[in-house]
Structure 1
Amino acid sequence: MSLLSDSALDFLRSVFSSRSKEDAETDRTLVTLTFAQSLDAKIAGKGGRQLLLSCPESMLMTHWMRSMHDAILVGIGTALNDNPQLNTRLIPEASRPSKLPRPIVLDAHLRLPIDCKLLSNFRQGVGLQPWIFCSSSNFPEMSSRRSTLLEAGAVIFDVPCEDGFLSIPQVLVELYIQGIKSLMVEGGATIINSFLKCSQQSDGFGAPPVIDTIIITTAPMFVGDGGVGYEVGGSKQAEEAPALQPVQTALMGIDTVAAVRILRRQ
C-alpha cells in the first residue's frame, strides 16, 4: 500500500473510530457530509461549473472514504454538471476493496440522462445499479422519463417534497429500509444546504442529528463572488446552530481536511 493511502486511511480511521457505540448500534442510516471548498467557501464555479478543488492526495482520501460507506448520494445538479462515477477507481487496484458503494441521485423530476456514467457503468458491469429518488407528485413528463430510466437500468423511489425539495428524512428512512446503514453525501450546493438545514431542524434536545460527521477539504485558492457557495441552515442565532465537536484535522498534499461531529444537545 502506498504512503498516500496510508496517510488517508490513518486520517479516516481516526475520524470514524470516534463514532460512539450508541451510533454504531443505531437504527438509522449514519450520514457523512463531505465536500471540497475554496478558502472563500465556494464549492463550484459560476453557474455550478465544476472546479478542481482537491489535490491528488485529498482526492485519494475521498475515494477511500467512499469505500467505507454503503452508498454515495449527490443531487441532480451535480449529476448533470459533473457526470460523476461515484466509485473508488483512484484506490490502487491491489488495495481496492471489492465492495462498491451504491450510487444515489436525488432527482425530483427525473432529469438524469440515460447515457450518464452511472448508468453506463452499471450496464457495463463495472458499477452498482444507481438508485434515483424522485418526487411522488405527478408531473406531465414523469411517466415517460420514468419508463426510459427504468429501461436504462435505474431503480426509482418516490418520496414526498417539502418546501419544493425532496424530503431528506423520508429519503433516509427509505435508505435504511433498503439496507443502507452508512451514507456519504457529496453535494452539490442544494444537497449540502438541504442536509445542513434538515440537521439543524432536527437538533432538538436528545433528537438524533440527520448528519453525523462532516468532512471538509479546503483548497488553498480563492474562487471569487461568481462561485457557488453554501449556507449553514440560515439560523439567526448562534446558539441555534448544531453543536459541533472537532474530531481531526490533517494536511493532505496542499489541502487541509477537517472533520467534525454533530452532537445531540443535552
Structure 2
Amino acid sequence: MTIPPAFLTSLLYRYNKPTEQSKPHVTLTFAQSLDAKIAGRGGKQLTLSGKESMVMTHWMRTMHDGILIGIGTALNDDPQLNTRLLPYRDPDPSANGHNNPYNIPRPIILDTKLRLSPHCKLLKNYTEGKGRRPWLICTEPSETSEKTEWLARRDTLDNAGARIVVLQIGHDTEGDQICLEILNLSQISMSSSDYLPIPLVLQTIHQLGISSVMVEGGAQVIRSFLSQNAVRSATSLVNTVIITIAPIFVGEDGVSYNAESGPSSVYKHASTAMFGQDTIVGLIPAYPNQDAP
C-alpha cells in the first residue's frame, strides 16, 4: 500500500473543509482489547495492534499536523511517533522539513511538571533531522519552592531541543508563553495539578498553527478528552474517534479509559474495517451541530 487506506481518507476528509473554529480538528485514536483495556498493570505498555493496523495508524499520522500524548505515555513507552512502518520513498526535506519521505506530525506532550527525559527518542530524532521539534505543554508552578527545580528542568529540555509552551490563564502573551483567558473554568475538568485544561490546550496549539491533531493517549488523556464532551453543548472537542479492537483479553489487571461519558453517548458509527485480525471502528459526533471540525 503506497497511499493511505480508503477507510481513513473517507473518514477524515471532513476536516479539510474551511473552518472558523478556534481549535484544531481532533482525532482521538487508541487500541484496546476485547475487554476494553488499553494498557497493562500500572500503565505498562501492551502491544495490542497487529502489523496491519499499526501501518494504518502510521498512515493516519501523515494526515495530521500534530500528534498529542500525555507525559505518562512519553515516560512509559519512549515513543517515536513517526511513520517508520510506511513503504520506502526518497526523502524530500524541502517538502517535509525533515529527512523523512512522509509528513510527520508535530509531537505535542502534555507535561505539566516538565518530566520528559532530555534523552528521549523524540528529542533525539529531532536533533538528528529525523523528526519535528517536540512541544511540551505545561504550566509554571506558583510555589517558589517548586519553581527553582521547574526552571532548571525547563532550561535542560530547551537546550535538548524541546519547545516549552507555558499555559497561563488571564495574562498577557509574552514570547513563547501562550496566555488565553477561559471564562467558564467551571466546565474544565482539572482533578489535580498534573492535568491541563484540554480546551485551553487545543486553543493554544491552534494559535500556534496546528489545524489537525491526532490524540494517541494514554488512559488519562483519553478520559480527559472523552469526558469534556459531556460539558460542551455547541461543538465536540473530539471530531473523530478511531478505535483499534484487538482480538485478545487482557484481564482485570489491565488499565481501561473508563470515561464517564464514553464514545457511545455522543458519537455514532461511521465505518468499520478489518486490518489483519484487528477491527477498526470509526465514530463521528452524533449530533449535526457537533459535526464541524
**TM-score normalised to structure 1 length:** 0.89
Alignment of 1:163 with 2:191, yes or no, is: yes
Equivalent pair of 1:245/1:262 in contact (CA under 8 Å)? yes
Corresponding residue for residue 29 of structure 1? 24
Corresponding residue for residue 125 of structure 1? 129
Change in Cα spacing, 1:265 to 1:122, as seen in structure 2 (3 Å) is same
What is the DSSP-based 3-state SS (H/G/I as helix, E as strand, rest coil) of the residue aligned with 1:185?
A: strand
Alignment of 1:214 with 2:241, yes or no, is: yes
Distance 2:79 2:218 in 1: 12
Query: Unpaired runs of 5+ in structure 2?
Result: 91-99, 169-188
* Larger deviation, residues 74-83 vs 157-166: 157-166
Equivalent pair of 1:108/1:133 in contact (CA under 8 Å)? yes
Deviations 1:64-104 (A, max 9, x none): 00000000000000001100001111111228853221001
Change in Cα spacing, 1:20 to 1:64, as seen in structure 2 (3 Å) is closer
CA RMSD of aligned residues (A): 2.1
Corresponding residue for residue 206 of structure 2? 176
Shift of 1:245: 2.1
Equivalent pair of 2:229/2:266 in contact (CA under 8 Å)? no
* Aligned sequence identity (%): 48
Give the number of aligned pairs: 253
Distance 1:98 1:217 in 2: 23
Distance 2:204 2:135 in 1: 11
Distance 1:168 1:136 in 2: 17
List aligned pairs for 1:82-121, cutoff 5 A: 82-94=77-89, 97-121=101-125
Match of 2:50 among 44, 52, 55: 55
Distance 2:18 2:86 in 1: 26
Distance 2:65 2:225 in 1: 18
Corresponding residue for residue 223 of structure 2? 193
Equivalent pair of 2:83/2:102 in contact (CA under 8 Å)? no
Alignment of 1:13 with 2:9, yes or no, is: yes
Change in Cα spacing, 1:261 to 1:20, as seen in structure 2 (3 Å) is same
Report the AA paired with residue 44 of structure 2: R
Distance 1:249 1:208 in 2: 24
Shift of 1:163: 2.9
Distance 1:163 1:55 in 2: 34
Change in Cα spacing, 1:241 to 1:248, as seen in structure 2 (3 Å) is closer
Corresponding residue for residue 252 of structure 1? 275
